[in-house]
Amino acid sequence: MTVRGVLLSLLAEGDRHGYQLKVDFEERTGGLWPLNVGQVYTTLDRMLRDDAVVERGKGDADQRVFGITETGRRELKEWLTTTPVDSTPPRDEFVMKVLLAVQLGGKEGLALIDLQRAALLAELQRSRRDGRPRGDVAALANDAFLGRIEADINWLDRCEARLNEQTKAGKKR
Amino acid sequence: MSEQTPALSFVDVVKRYGQGATEVRALTDLSLDVAPGEFVAVMGASGSGKSTLLHLAGGLEDPTAGRVFIGATALDELDATGRAALRRRDVGIVFQRLNLIPTLTAIENVMLPLELDGVATRSARERASEALARVELPGPLDRYPDDLSGGEQQRVAIARAIVGERKLMLADEPTGALDSVTGDKVIELLASLVTTTGCALVLVTHEPRYASWADRIVRVRDGSVVDETRPSTIADEIEARGQ
């Protein structure tokens, strides 16, 4: 959905051919999301099928040029104004490992939490050393990435506090 | 590690408050070396002992057992006057708030440790003005703390902490009263001062974003250091684990 939404927003600014869409997509997303041209065309073909875009003929170098339709504009508006919030807790590997660590409890559980925290802190440090990416969009995209790492670290602190309460209450399993 | 004398050294330090049933152990057998020019971030939950660590490093409190060294000087060998002199000359401290004397202007606040140390007013003013230039305080230097924003006040406090070639800077949640963008700038400034002045820095923070500026991140739990994160070794570890 993200690729489709961003492509629609580019086409809403003006007609483009596939390679142009790829280049503009990467620039617009702060270099966070490298896209291959094949993926662009697959998405365009689906949008053609759904009447979200039309083919406007051939460009200078004989490439297919695409434009957005009214249906496409409606879809874009809907996409832009919907906030993607996960309604279920994330089921990723990191979360599962830490939940297991909390239930493991004691020193082993703490050691696992420490290991995860150290890795996340190292990631923050590495990113700090690499410096802020040049360009406002790329810098903001990087901030979003770092903000999530910070949130994960803060969550680990919460898990650690929970584990400690458990240990103190002698409920260790 | 290098052979040089650490800027700060904790050797088997214990700190207890109260006695008997009400005894609280703030630090239990904590050992830590901070090299000259090194930036160490100290993290840990509230009550883990991280602020106590900073108070002991600044000679503001005494350990119950163990020793604290600033450079080659053992703090327990100094009397109150000796420690006050050490804090004026060698160790700069920045707290979360209430750093500045409200009845003195920005530059007078920075001049204070120098003047107390007997430096002539004119020379003190020159050095204070240099320090304020280093922390890039915008605008006139004769404004009172009340007329400065939170971020500007911390810049003045940092200038006071580095004036007169200190060997060690101690900062206890210096960003605690600031918004995150201003906080970022304050930490960036502290990190750059470590590089340009060669002064060591110990930063106590609970914010990973600020800790990530450090050369080394130390975690304190139940009064002792539990893990130390050095970027290179942890990176190797990750690489090794990544199959």
pLDDT at B242: 52
pLDDT at B189: 87
pLDDT band at B3 (very low <50, low <70, confident <90, very high): low
Q: Does A146 touch chain B (CB under 8 A)?
A: yes
CA-to-CA dists, residue A150 to A154, B108, B113, angstroms: 6, 38, 37
Q: How far apart are the first and last CA of chain B?
A: 29
| Assembly ipTM | 0.74
Helices first, then strands: H and E counts in chain A: 7, 3
How large a percentage of chain A has pLDDT more than 90? 43
Q: How many CB pairs under 8 A join A and B?
A: 49
| pTM as predicted | 0.79
Q: Does B214 touch chain A (CB under 8 A)?
A: yes
Handedness of CA B44, A88, A85, A97 (dihedral sign): positive
User: What is the DSSP-derived secondary structure letter of residue B222?
Assistant: T
Q: Please calculate the CA angle B36-B42-B44 and round it to the nearest 5 degrees.
A: 165
Cβ atoms of residues A4 and A46 within 8 Å: yes
> Are B208 and A161 a contacting pair at CB < 8 A?
no
Q: Which residues in chain B have Cβ-Cβ distances shorter than 8 Å to A128?
A: 212-213
Cβ atoms of residues B219 and B229 within 8 Å: yes
pLDDT band at B161 (very low <50, low <70, confident <90, very high): confident
Cβ atoms of residues B63 and B29 within 8 Å: no
pLDDT, tens only, B185-211: 888 888 988 988 889 999 999 889 899
Closest alpha carbon to B46 in A108, A38, A164: A164
Alpha helices (runs of H) in chain B, residue ranges in sequence order: 50-57, 80-89, 106-116, 121-134, 150-162, 180-197, 208-211, 231-241
Interface test with A, best of B40, B212, B224 (most A CBs within 10 A): B212
Q: Which residues contact residue B102 at a Cβ distance below 8 angstroms, ignoring those fewer than 6 apart?
A: B144, B145, B146
Q: How far is CA B73 from the centre of its chain?
A: 17
Closest alpha carbon to A47 in A19, A83, A73: A73
pLDDT band at B183 (very low <50, low <70, confident <90, very high): confident
Strand order in the sheet with A53-58: A16-17, A64-68, A53-58
Residues A51, A33: Cα–Cα separation, whole Å = 26
Q: Which residues contact residue B48 at a Cβ distance below 8 angstroms, ignoring those fewer than 6 apart?
A: B220, B221, B222, B223
- pLDDT at residue B238 greater than cutoff 60: no
CA distance B44 to chain A (A): 9
> What is the average pLDDT across A59-71?
88
pLDDT, tens only, A4-34: 999 999 999 999 999 999 999 988 887 778 8
- Poorest-pLDDT segment among A70-74, B95-99, B174-178, B182-186: B95-99
Cβ atoms of residues B38 and B4 within 8 Å: no
Q: Which residues in chain A have Cβ-Cβ distances shorter than 8 Å to B229?
A: 118, 121-122, 125
Helices first, then strands: H and E counts in chain B: 8, 10
pLDDT, tens only, A32-48: 788 989 999 999 999 99
